[in-house]
Chains A and B, each alone.
Chain A
Amino acid sequence: MDLQRLHLDKTLFFALLGLAAVSLFVVYSASAKDLSATLGHLMRLALGFMVLLLVAQIRPEILERWSPYIFGAGMVLLLAVLAMGVIGKGAQRWLNLGIVKFQPAEIMKLAVPMMLSWFLARGDVPPRLWRLGLSFVMMAIPAVMIVKQPDLGTALLVFGAGTFVLFLGGLRWRVIIILLAIIAVAAPFAWGHLHDYQRQRVLTLFNPEADPLGTGYHTIQSMIAVGSGGVYGKGWLNSSQAHLDYLPESSTDFIFAVFAEEFGLIGSLLLVLVYTFVVARGMLIAYLAKDTYTRLLAGSLSLTFFLYFFVNMGMVTGILPIVGIPLPMMSYGGSSIVTVMAAFGILMSIQTHRKIAE
Chain B
Amino acid sequence: MLNIPIKDHFRETRLFNARLSVIGVIILILIFSLLLRLIYLQVWAHRHYETLSQANRIKPIPLQPPRGLILDRNGVILAQNYPVYTLEIIPEQVDDMNSLLEEIGQVVKLNDTDLKNFRKQLRERPRFENLVLRSHLTEEEAARFAVKRPYFNGVELEARLRRHYPLTGLGVHFLGYVGRINEQEAEHLDKAAYRGMEHIGKLGLEASYEKVLLGRVGFENVETNAHGRSLRILERIAPVAGKNLYLSIDAKLQALAEQALGQRRGAIIALEPATGAILAFVSTPTYDPNPFVSGIDPTSYQGLLNDPNKPLINRALNGQYAPGSTIKAFLGLAALELDGFDPNRPVACPGWFSLPPNAHLFRDWKKGGHGAVNLHDAVVQSCDVYFYKLAVTMNIEAMKNFLAPFGFGAKTGVDIFNESEGILPSPEWKAARGQRWYPGETVITGIGQGSLLATPLQLASAMSALANHGIRMKPQLVHAIVDAKTQATQNITPEAYAEIPLKDKHHIDIEVQNLTDVVHSNRGTAYGIGYNAAYKIAGKTGTAQVKSVAQGQSYSEKATPERYRDHALFISFAPVNDPKVAIAVIVENGGHGGSAAAPIARKMMDHVILGSESTPVVKPAEENDE
Chain A interfacial positions (CB closer than 8 Å to B): 90, 124-126, 164, 167-170, 195-197, 200-201, 204, 210-214, 217, 221, 223-231, 240-241, 244-246, 248, 260, 264-265, 268-269, 272, 276, 279, 283, 286-287, 291-292, 295-296, 299, 303, 306, 310, 313-314, 317-319
Chain B residues within 8 Å of A226, by CB: 38, 41-42, 49
Query: Known contacts A225-B53, A240-B56, A299-B20; is A230 also within 8 Å of B46 by CB?
Result: yes
Closest partner residue, chain A, to B224 (CB atom): A244
Q: Can you identify 18 A-B contacts, CB atoms within 8 angstroms?
A: A125-B8, A200-B192, A213-B60, A213-B217, A214-B192, A224-B56, A228-B50, A231-B42, A241-B56, A244-B57, A268-B42, A272-B31, A272-B35, A283-B20, A287-B20, A313-B34, A318-B37, A319-B37
Report whether A201 and B38 are in contact in the complex, using a CB–CB cutoff of 8 Å. Answer: no
Report whether A217 and B42 are in contact in the complex, using a CB–CB cutoff of 8 Å. Answer: no
Report whether A224 and B20 are in contact in the complex, using a CB–CB cutoff of 8 Å. Answer: no
Q: Give Cα distance in the complex from A200 to B60, angstroms.
A: 21
Report whether B60 and A317 are in contact in the complex, using a CB–CB cutoff of 8 Å. Answer: no
Chain B residues within 8 Å of A260, by CB: 38, 41-42
> CB-CB contacts of B109-130 with A at 8 A, as 1s and 0s?
0000000000000000011110
Apart from A228-B53, A272-B38, what are 7 other A-B pairs with CB-CB below 8 Å?
A125-B12, A212-B219, A231-B46, A245-B228, A248-B126, A310-B31, A319-B33
Q: How far is the CB of B90 from chain A (nearest CB, A)?
A: 11
The 10 tightest CB contacts between A and B, nearest first, are: A227-B49, A211-B192, A228-B53, A200-B190, A213-B195, A265-B42, A227-B41, A125-B12, A228-B49, A230-B46
Query: Known contacts A170-B19, A248-B126, A306-B27; is A210 also within 8 Å of B192 by CB?
Result: yes
Chain A residues within 8 Å of B432, by CB: none
Report whether A227 and B33 are in contact in the complex, using a CB–CB cutoff of 8 Å. Answer: no
Chain A residues within 8 Å of B398, by CB: none
Report whether B15 and A227 are in contact in the complex, using a CB–CB cutoff of 8 Å. Answer: no
Chain B residues within 8 Å of A279, by CB: 27
Chain A residues within 8 Å of B39, by CB: 265
Q: How far is the CB of B463 from chain A (nearest CB, A)?
A: 36
Report whether B195 and A168 are in contact in the complex, using a CB–CB cutoff of 8 Å. Answer: no
Chain B residues within 8 Å of A197, by CB: 188-190
Q: Give Cα distance in the complex from A39 to B96, angstroms.
A: 24
Report whether A223 and B38 are in contact in the complex, using a CB–CB cutoff of 8 Å. Answer: no
In-complex Cβ contact of A214 among B1, B11, B191 (8 A): B191
Query: Known contacts A214-B191, A225-B53; is A283 also within 8 Å of B24 by CB?
Result: yes
Report whether A211 and B195 are in contact in the complex, using a CB–CB cutoff of 8 Å. Answer: yes
Report whether A170 and B15 are in contact in the complex, using a CB–CB cutoff of 8 Å. Answer: yes
Report whether A310 and B50 are in contact in the complex, using a CB–CB cutoff of 8 Å. Answer: no
- What is the interface of chain A mostly: helix, strand, loop, or mixed? helix
Chain B residues within 8 Å of A244, by CB: 56-57, 226
Chain B residues within 8 Å of A264, by CB: 42
Report whether B53 and A168 are in contact in the complex, using a CB–CB cutoff of 8 Å. Answer: no
Q: How far is the CB of B18 from chain A (nearest CB, A)?
A: 9
Report whether A211 and B191 are in contact in the complex, using a CB–CB cutoff of 8 Å. Answer: yes
- What is the interface of chain B mostly: helix, strand, loop, or mixed? helix
Q: How far is the CB of B582 from chain A (nearest CB, A)?
A: 35
CB-CB contacts below 8 Å: B6-43 with A: 8, 11-12, 15-17, 19-20, 23-24, 27, 30-31, 33-35, 37-39, 41-43
Report whether B45 and A227 are in contact in the complex, using a CB–CB cutoff of 8 Å. Answer: yes
Query: Known contacts A197-B188, A230-B42, A241-B56; is A276 also within 8 Å of B20 by CB?
Result: no
Report whether A317 and B23 are in contact in the complex, using a CB–CB cutoff of 8 Å. Answer: no
Report whether B192 and A204 are in contact in the complex, using a CB–CB cutoff of 8 Å. Answer: yes
Q: Give Cα distance in the complex from A320 to B42, angstroms.
A: 18
Q: Give Cα distance in the complex from A262 to B59, angstroms.
A: 22
Q: Give Cα distance in the complex from A228 to B17, angstroms.
A: 42
Q: Give Cα distance in the complex from A266 to B193, angstroms.
A: 40
Chain A residues within 8 Å of B397, by CB: none
Query: Known contacts A212-B60, A264-B42; is A317 also within 8 Å of B37 by CB?
Result: yes
Report whether B15 and A228 are in contact in the complex, using a CB–CB cutoff of 8 Å. Answer: no
Chain A residues within 8 Å of B11, by CB: 125
Q: CB of B48 within 8 A of chain A?
A: yes
Query: Known contacts A125-B8, A231-B43; is A246 also within 8 Å of B192 by CB?
Result: no
Chain B residues within 8 Å of A318, by CB: 37
Report whether A213 and B53 are in contact in the complex, using a CB–CB cutoff of 8 Å. Answer: no
Chain A residues within 8 Å of B103, by CB: none
Report whether A246 and B20 are in contact in the complex, using a CB–CB cutoff of 8 Å. Answer: no
Q: Give Cα distance in the complex from A240 to B49, angstroms.
A: 12
Q: CB of B495 within 8 A of chain A?
A: no
Q: CB of B448 within 8 A of chain A?
A: no
Q: CB of B52 within 8 A of chain A?
A: yes
Report whether B42 and A213 are in contact in the complex, using a CB–CB cutoff of 8 Å. Answer: no
Query: Known contacts A212-B60, A227-B48, A279-B27; is A291 also within 8 Å of B1 by CB?
Result: yes
Closest partner residue, chain B, to A126 (CB atom): B15
Q: How far is the CB of B417 from chain A (nearest CB, A)?
A: 14
Most interface-central of B33, B41, B226 (chain A CB within 10 A): B41
Q: CB of B201 within 8 A of chain A?
A: no
Query: Known contacts A245-B92, A317-B41; is A240 also within 8 Å of B53 by CB?
Result: yes
Query: Known contacts A214-B195, A227-B41, A292-B12; is A195 also within 8 Å of B52 by CB?
Result: no
Chain B residues within 8 Å of A213, by CB: 60, 62, 129, 192, 195-196, 217, 219
Report whether A268 and B38 are in contact in the complex, using a CB–CB cutoff of 8 Å. Answer: yes
Q: Give Cα distance in the complex from A88 to B335, angstroms.
A: 58
Closest partner residue, chain A, to B24 (CB atom): A283
Q: Give Cα distance in the complex from A287 to B15, angstroms.
A: 11
Chain B residues within 8 Å of A265, by CB: 38-39, 42-43
Q: How far is the CB of A322 from chain B (nearest CB, A)?
A: 12
Q: How far is the CB of A290 from chain B (nearest CB, A)?
A: 9
Closest partner residue, chain B, to A218 (CB atom): B126
Chain A residues within 8 Å of B228, by CB: 245
Closest partner residue, chain A, to B60 (CB atom): A213
Report whether A196 and B190 are in contact in the complex, using a CB–CB cutoff of 8 Å. Answer: yes
> CB-CB contacts of B419-438 with A at 8 A, as 1s and 0s?
00000000000000000000
Q: Give Cα distance in the complex from A221 to B217, angstroms.
A: 21
